[in-house]
């Protein structure tokens, strides 16, 4: 028995998002005759699941790990498993160990790492672990020799034909991953492609996917969605592609054929009236768009490839066709001035006034290892964590993240204010508009209270939480 595991953070309310990483490699293992179990938990279940895993005595436990709070929690569970049974091998895969394989292998509680895509590597690793314990020729694998010296094998080429690696939905209780989003009651997460050909300076794709984009065929995507429609009655899809619109015709064809409301990510410089009108007709209910900054200098620094003026042209088009869009921004970039910081906040407010159906996310810049800006960030004062567990503090959406370039708590307060602007409650909106216009972030008791109540509503905690959810849906989605 092989166990593959992912830990979500309960305070992110993300526990219902389909764990596509472990599902992908788990599907590869099952297809090739291995017995595999997938476990998706929150950090609250770490102690309980550690004992259950050890009792199962698996051949190994594989973790899917993303840089941030998930790193910290994966460390905690890995250590607990090793304390209960040191002989159970621990394998880490995903973005974090792919970007920092040497540091991960330097930890006593990690025995192996997979670098890059895992489907082919995990098959070769599983066979070698069972038969020969000879890992030297397995591309994309990191391991320790008999002297505990870390060995990093040559990187494996990216998969050419993703259609050869289909998802096996029977590995999960799929009912757990159907969730409410907006006015859609039964939404599910799905990816139709991997990677992105653009080279944004902050993005992991530069290293992890080598700035390349590959996709499953339209037939495969449509077949999967039809299966999910038939068996789980889904009424919407949240596409998690890094760039769904690399191939515009393909993307539009998929949306047309699945005939479901959808959430997608798209670059603002792809947006024009023709595309926006098509998205409206094809039932797209939310766009996630990275505008990043209100400073042309910083947009150039992070290699976005568009200007603030181009951003505004796209925003006007989206507003014209009355589509909901969530605009993502980054502050605290190295060398960012106070004036540039304020220009980003001003741009967000300008968009809010032009596009009433806008939502916003505002995060602090996170120096990802392997990104183009990482070395520059080190030169500008970022202190890279010395231990794997310390990467858990590097999280751009939390108020306790330490940045050398910006006041993180202030950023968090501004982000929470902008969240409430998307609610259809006039009194609240007017108050938080006042906070933003006058840069008044003192005495944030109201912000903490609303955040707490929103969390209760999203998680539907108890009868009161269920009632709050109804209210939340009413005021949040216009």
Quick: pLDDT tens for 174-192: 999 999 887 889 999 999 9
**Domain 165-452 is in which class?**
alpha beta
Q: How far apart are CA 314 and CA 195, in angstroms?
A: 23
Q: How far apart are CA 442 and CA 191, in angstroms?
A: 41
Q: Percent of the chain, pLDDT > 90?
A: 78
Question: What is the secondary structure of 298-357 as a DSSP string?
Answer: HHHHTT----HHHHHHHHHHHHHTT--EEEEEEE--TT--HHHHHHHHHHHHHHHHH-TT
Q: For residue 143, give the H/E element and its range.
A: strand 141-144
| b/e per residue 200-222 (b: at least 16 CB within 10 A) | bbbbbbbbbbebebebbebebbb
Could you tell me if 119 and 28 are in contact, meaning their C-beta atoms sit under 8 angstroms apart?
A: yes
Give me the architecture of the 2-152 domain, per CATH: 3-Layer(aba) Sandwich (3.40)
DSSP label of 189: E
Q: Six-digit token pair at 371?
A: 């990104």
Which residue spans within 85-219 are E strands per DSSP? 90-93, 112-114, 141-144, 150-152, 179-181, 184-190, 193-195, 213-215
Which residue spans within 182-314 are E strands per DSSP? 184-190, 193-195, 213-215, 236-239, 262-265, 284-292
Q: How far apart are CA 262 and CA 249, in angstroms?
A: 16
- Lowest-pLDDT range, 135-149, 159-173, 442-456? 442-456
Q: pLDDT digit string (tens) for 236-245?
A: 999 999 999 9
Q: Give the three-state DSSP class for 382.
A: coil
What's this model's pTM, rounded to 2 decimal places?
A: 0.91
DSSP-assigned beta bridge partners for residue 6: 40
For the cut 80, the answer to whether the pLDDT of residue 420 exceeds it is yes
Domain ranges of the chain: 2-152, 165-452
Q: Give the three-state DSSP class for 443.
A: coil
Q: For residue 39, give the H/E element and its range.
A: strand 36-42
Confidence category of residue 140, pLDDT binned at 50, 70, 90: very high
Q: pLDDT digit string (tens) for 254-267?
A: 999 999 999 999 99
């Amino acid at each position: 028995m092989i166990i593959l595991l992912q830990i979500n953070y309960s305070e992110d309310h993300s526990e219902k998002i389909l764990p596509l990483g472990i599902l992908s490699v788990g599907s590869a293992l099952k297809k090739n005759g291995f017995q595999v179990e997938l476990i998706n938990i929150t950090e609250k279940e770490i102690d309980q699941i550690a004992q259950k895993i050890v009792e199962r005595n698996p051949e190994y436990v594989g973790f899917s790990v993303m840089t941030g709070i998930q790193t910290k929690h994966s460390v905690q569970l890995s250590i607990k498993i090793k304390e209960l049974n040191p002989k159970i091998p621990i394998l880490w895969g995903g973005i974090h160990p792919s970007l920092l394989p040497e540091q991960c292998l330097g930890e006593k509680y990690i025995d192996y790492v997979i670098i890059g895509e895992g489907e082919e590597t995990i098959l070769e690793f599983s066979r070698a672990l069972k038969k020969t314990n000879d890992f030297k020729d397995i591309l994309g694998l990191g391991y320790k020799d008999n002297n505990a010296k870390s060995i990093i094998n040559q990187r494996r080429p990216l998969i050419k034909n993703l259609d050869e690696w289909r998802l096996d939905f029977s590995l999960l209780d799929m009912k757990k991953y159907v969730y409410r989003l907006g006015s859609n009651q039964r939404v599910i997460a799905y990816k139709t492609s991997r990677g992105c050909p653009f080279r944004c300076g902050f993005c992991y794709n530069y290293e992890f996917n080598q700035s390349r984009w590959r996709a499953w065929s339209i037939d495969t995507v449509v077949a999967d969605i039809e299966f999910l429609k038939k068996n789980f009655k889904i009424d919407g899809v949240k596409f998690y592609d890094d760039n769904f619109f690399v191939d515009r015709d393909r993307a539009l064809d998929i949306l047309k054929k699945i005939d479901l409301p959808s959430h997608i990510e798209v670059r603002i410089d792809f947006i024009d009236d023709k595309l926006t009108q098509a998205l409206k007709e094809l039932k797209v209910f939310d766009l996630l768009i990275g505008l990043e900054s209100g400073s042309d200098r910083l947009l150039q620094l992070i290699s976005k490839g568009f200007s603030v003026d181009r951003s505004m042209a796209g925003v006007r088009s989206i507003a014209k066709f009355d589509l909901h869009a969530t605009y993502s921004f980054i502050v605290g970039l190295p060398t960012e001035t106070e004036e540039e910081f304020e220009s980003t906040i001003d741009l967000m407010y300008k968009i809010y006034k032009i596009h009433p159906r806008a939502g916003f996310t505002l995060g602090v810049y996170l120096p990802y290892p392997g990104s183009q800006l990482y070395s520059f960030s080190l030169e500008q004062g970022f202190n890279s964590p010395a231990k794997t567990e310390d990467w858990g503090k590097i999280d751009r959406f939390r108020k306790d993240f330490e940045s050398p370039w910006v006041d993180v708590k202030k950023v968090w307060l501004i982000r929470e204010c902008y969240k409430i602007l998307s609610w259809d409650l006039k009194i609240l909106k007017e108050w938080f508009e006042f906070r933003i216009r006058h840069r008044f972030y003192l005495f944030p008791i109201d912000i903490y209270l609303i955040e707490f109540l929103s969390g209760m509503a999203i998680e539907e905690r108890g009868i009161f939480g269920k009632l709050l959810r109804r209210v939340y849906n009413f005021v949040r989605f216009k």
